[in-house]
């Protein structure tokens, strides 16, 4: 699997990818673990569920709102600076949660400080960095990076649970924060580099043509591999359809993932599923998330991305159809299987398409904006589902509406004109490297 | 652990319902003492960066970059 250069050096991009995977693992671990902390902390401080949910909601909104700014900073100052600073703040603020004396402190640290730090050391920024190292294998690389988030749910949440049992919630926050500061931060600081050109390599670790100069040069800012919709400024991207199509699809992604994340347990209870059935179905869904994202990413490098993206939204629509229309546990299991396959597959496909279509110069900002649309959709859906539940007394209508929005996401994804706009179809990226590839950059 | 113990003065047991539910779920797969589980996953988390650094340094040494 490891791509090697002509002189058998391991492609540096794989090291960057492992670092991104690890940052996702321990960084997301500080966030996905919150559910485990809710009740012990509520019990100690006598908080009600609404109060702690407020901190979570603020965290979601702040985290989404800072993404474009973090992306812009990434584009302006480079990845290592922003990732390292944000990891330092994330680790420190996670440790500071162990000193929580009241809800205000918790809201400030978790809802604001941590959320901002996560914005600079998570999905969009890391995916932008990975996009700078991979071209032909971009789908697979982004999927592996995203797999760190799936592993965080699979491993870090049980870890936090058992850590609380073995010690207490304060010690657990300290350990989770220490993973970030003492493991992820040094790894990022010493290994992350900006582009293949900065270490004298090419995209994907490909071999240079004999006699070509693959060292960094000032001539690597524009090239004949510039995608047709390449933008000098990020604002220009909104003049073209793909940015709206990708943002629109990802808005629906946010609607559907966060509505389930927030309302799945009450829905399962309403339907009369036992906790064991509901948790097993959710566990199977988590496992399928991990394998689904890897397989879909790898396939997208061979078959193109927009059709797969549309297919993933269609499969997720099917999942929502099953949970609403198919009665009993069969509906629950069909939902778990279909949703599991498609749940985490859409972010890497969307990021890869964004980089393929708009180039790498503003990739951080663009990924941040697309992710922001995801968070807006999620926040509106969580709120809307709660209001609708109160009005109609069930989750069938809100989940049904979410499923219908997925049909729209499927259609707009299929309408992305990938062959016209993607860099993958502008040059023979599987053939000998072009001039720009010898510099490892096409922005 | 001495440093960490400073943070333990507010120790409160976790909610028995939530934690019991999660632990039962994991125990149905692997029945382990909580601390064994913590050490096992913690070791995996620690090993990933260590192995990465070893391979990274080995690669750099092999090619005279260090």
The answer to whether residue B4 neighbours chain A at the CB level (below 8 Å) is yes
Joined tokens for residue A136: 């032909």
Residue A176: the pLDDT is 95
Residue A210: the pLDDT is 52
Helix or strand run (H / E) with residue A6: none
Q: What is the mean pLDDT of residues B3-16?
A: 33
For chain B, the distance separating the N- and C-terminal CA atoms, rounded to the nearest angstrom, is 35
- Contact of A250 with A351, CB cutoff 8 Å: no
The answer to whether residue B44 neighbours chain A at the CB level (below 8 Å) is yes
The answer to whether residue A98 neighbours chain B at the CB level (below 8 Å) is yes
**Which residues 366-385 of chain A have a CB within 8 Å of chain B?**
none
Backbone angles phi, psi at A361, to 5 degrees: -60, -45
CA B17 to chain centre: 24
Which 3 state secondary structure label does DSSP give A200? Answer: coil
Residue B21: the pLDDT is 61
- Contact of A75 with A359, CB cutoff 8 Å: no
Residue B20: the pLDDT is 59
Give the CATH number of domain A234-425.
Answer: 1.20.1250.20
- Give the closest-approach CA distance of B8 to chain A in angstroms: 7
Measured between beta carbons, the chain B residues lying within 8 angstroms of A187 are 49, 52-53
The answer to whether residue A42 neighbours chain B at the CB level (below 8 Å) is yes
Low-confidence ranges of chain A (pLDDT < 70): 1-8, 33, 49-50, 207-225, 261-263, 265-266, 269, 275-276, 278-279, 427-443
How far is A315 from A335, CA to CA, in rounded Å? 10
Nearest Cα to A375, choosing from A29, A108, A56, A114? A56
The answer to whether residue B8 neighbours chain A at the CB level (below 8 Å) is yes
- Contact of A97 with A109, CB cutoff 8 Å: yes
Residue B30: the pLDDT is 66
- Contact of A305 with A356, CB cutoff 8 Å: yes
CA B41 to chain centre: 4
How far is A63 from A43, CA to CA, in rounded Å? 27
Residue B4: the pLDDT is 30
**Is A191's CB within 8 Å of B8's CB?**
no
Residue A8: the pLDDT is 63
Joined tokens for residue B37: 């589980």
Residue B25: the pLDDT is 65
> In the structure, what pLDDT confidence band is assigned to residue B15 with cuts at 50, 70 and 90?
very low
Note every long-range contact of A329-333, with CB atoms under 8 Å and residues 24 or more positions apart, other chains counting: A329/A273, A329/A277, A332/A268, A332/A271, A332/A273, A332/A277, A332/A278, A332/A281, A333/A281, A333/A284
Note every long-range contact of A62-65, with CB atoms under 8 Å and residues 24 or more positions apart, other chains counting: A62/A111, A62/A112, A62/A115, A62/A116, A62/A119, A63/A115, A63/A116, A63/A118, A63/A119, A63/A375, A64/A371, A64/A372, A64/A374, A64/A375, A64/A376, A64/A378, A64/A379, A65/A372, A65/A375
In sequence order, what are the residues at sequence separation of 6 or more whose Cβ sits closer than 8 angstroms to the Cβ of residue A435?
A: A223, A224, A225
Nearest Cα to A353, choosing from A425, A289, A403, A288? A425
The better pLDDT of the pair B28, B63 is held by B63
**Which residues 44-73 of chain A have a CB within 8 Å of chain B?**
44
Residue B54: the pLDDT is 95
Backbone angles phi, psi at A427, to 5 degrees: -145, 160
How far is B17 from B29, CA to CA, in rounded Å? 19
Residue B14: the pLDDT is 37
Report how far apart, in Å, the C-alpha atoms of A141 and of each of A23, A47, A349 are: 15, 42, 11
Q: Which of A256-260, B7-11, B32-36 has the lowest mean pLDDT?
A: B7-11
**Which residues 128-187 of chain A have a CB within 8 Å of chain B?**
155-156, 158-159, 161-171, 174-175, 179, 183-184, 186-187
Query: What CATH class has A12-198?
Result: mainly alpha
**Is A25's CB within 8 Å of B12's CB?**
no
- Report the percent of chain B where pLDDT is more than 90: 27
**Tens-place pLDDT, residues A381-426:** 877 877 787 787 777 888 899 899 999 999 999 999 888 888 888 7
How far is A138 from A131, CA to CA, in rounded Å? 6
DSSP string, A23-81: HHHHHHHHHHTHHHHHHHHHHHHT--HHHHHHHHHHHHHHHHHHHHHHHHHHHHH-HHH
Residue B66: the pLDDT is 64
Domain boundaries, chain A: 12-198, 234-425
On the CB side of A239, CA atoms within 13 Å amount to 9
How far is A41 from B22, CA to CA, in rounded Å? 16
């Amino acid at each position: 699997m490891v791509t090697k250069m002509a002189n058998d050096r391991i492609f540096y991009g794989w090291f960057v990818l492992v670092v991104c995977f690890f940052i996702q693992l321990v960084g997301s671990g500080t966030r996905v673990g919150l559910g485990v902390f809710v009740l012990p902390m509520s019990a100690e401080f006598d908080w009600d569920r609404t109060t702690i949910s407020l901190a979570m909601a603020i965290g979601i909104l702040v985290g989404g709102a800072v993404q474009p700014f973090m992306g812009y900073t990434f584009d302006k100052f480079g990845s290592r600076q922003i990732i390292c600073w944000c990891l330092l703040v994330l680790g420190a603020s996670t440790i500071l949660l162990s000193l929580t004396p009241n809800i205000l402190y918790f809201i400030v640290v978790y809802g604001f400080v941590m959320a901002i730090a996560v914005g600079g050391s998570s999905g969009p920024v890391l995916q932008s960095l990975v996009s700078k190292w991979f071209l032909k294998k971009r789908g697979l690389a982004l999927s592996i990076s995203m797999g760190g988030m799936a592993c965080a749910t699979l491993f870090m949440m049980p870890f936090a649970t058992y850590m609380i049992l073995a010690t207490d919630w304060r010690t657990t926050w300290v350990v989770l924060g220490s993973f970030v500061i003492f493991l992820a931060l040094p790894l990022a600081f010493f290994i992350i580099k900006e582009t293949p050109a900065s270490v004298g390599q090419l995209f994907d670790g490909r071999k240079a043509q004999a006699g070509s100069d693959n060292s960094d040069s000032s001539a690597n800012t524009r090239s004949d591999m510039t995608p047709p919709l390449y933008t000098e400024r990020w604002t220009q991207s909104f003049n073209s359809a793909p940015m709206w199509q990708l943002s629109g699809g990802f808005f629906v992604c946010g609607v559907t993932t966060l509505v389930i994340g927030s309302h799945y347990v009450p829905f399962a209870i309403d339907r009369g599923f036992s906790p064991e059935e509901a948790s097993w179905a959710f566990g199977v869904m988590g496992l399928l998330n991990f394998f689904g994202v890897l397989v879909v990413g790898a396939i997208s490098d061979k078959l193109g991305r927009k059709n797969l993206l549309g297919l993933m939204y269609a499969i997720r629509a099917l999942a929502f159809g099953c949970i609403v229309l198919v009665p009993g546990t069969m509906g629950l299991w069909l939902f778990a299987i279909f949703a599991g396959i498609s749940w985490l597959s859409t972010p890497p496909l969307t990021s890869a398409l964004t980089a393929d279509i708009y180039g790498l110069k503003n990739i951080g900002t663009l990924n941040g904006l697309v992710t922001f649309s995801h968070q807006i959709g999620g926040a509106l859906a969580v709120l809307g589902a709660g209001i609708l539940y109160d009005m109609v007394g069930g989750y069938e209508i809100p989940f049904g509406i979410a499923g219908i929005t997925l049909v729209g996401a499927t259609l707009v994804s299929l309408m992305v004109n990938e062959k016209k706009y993607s860099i993958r179809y502008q040059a023979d990226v599987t053939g000998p490297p072009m001039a720009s590839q010898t510099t490892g950059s096409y922005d | 652990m001495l440093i960490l113990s400073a943070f333990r003065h507010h120790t409160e047991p976790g909610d028995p319902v939530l934690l019991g539910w999660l632990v039962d779920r994991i125990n149905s797969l692997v029945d382990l003492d909580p601390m064994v589980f913590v050490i096992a996953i913690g070791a995996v988390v620690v090993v990933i960066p260590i192995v990465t650094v070893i391979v990274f340094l080995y690669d750099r040494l092999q090619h005279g970059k260090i």
